[in-house]
Amino acid sequence: MTKTTKTDKIHGLSTYSDEITDKICNLIADGHALHQIIKMEGMPGNAAVYAWLEKYPSFAEKYARAREKQADLFAAQIVTIADTATDANLARLQMDARKWAASKMAPKKYGDKTLTEVTGADGGAIKTEAVSKVDWRELDPDQRETLRQALLAAKGSTK
């Protein structure tokens, strides 16, 4: 059993202790919602729990790990529900609720993956075009002649 290492009165109702926070985290990991836990005998109120999460980083870390475990539990329950369902509509509702909750608790693991793909016209490659401006007055006579020949050739190929 963990000794109380810190005490903190929250609105005169609850005293912080590692024992209580461990119990909260274990209940969360076992699938209980915080609104259910705070109604249990000897548990702090909602405001106290959220204040402790802000004030005690060690509790915040344990709480985050408990939420990840809860997401894993919900994902595992989906398979059990599907395998044992007798009412398809009820099973679908239960599975969807657990999928949604798991995706919010552990989005990297259970969230929807999105892929963004950029394509050109009709799904083809993206067309790129390099445009250069040349001031013909800055060209020497040989360069002007090469440019004139290239322009005439390009004009002839478009006919």
What is the model's pTM? 0.61
Contact 121, 127 (CB under 8 A): yes
Q: Which domains does the chain have, with CATH numbers?
A: 9-110 (1.10.10.60)
Write down the pLDDT at residue 9: 41
Q: Residue 10: pLDDT band by 50, 70, 90 thresholds?
A: very low
Q: What is the pLDDT of residues 111-152, one digit of tens each?
A: 888 778 888 888 788 888 878 787 888 889 998 899 889 889
Contact 37, 28 (CB under 8 A): yes
Write down the pLDDT at residue 159: 53
Write down the pLDDT at residue 157: 67
Give the span between the Cα atoms of 66 and 47, in whole angstroms: 19
Question: Is the pLDDT reported for residue 35 higher than 80?
Answer: yes
* Angle subtended at Cα 119 by Cα 117 and Cα 122, rounded to the nearest 5 degrees: 130
CA-based radius of gyration for the chain: 33
Question: Is the pLDDT reported for residue 13 higher than 90?
Answer: no
Question: Is the pLDDT reported for residue 86 higher than 50?
Answer: yes
Write down the pLDDT at residue 53: 96
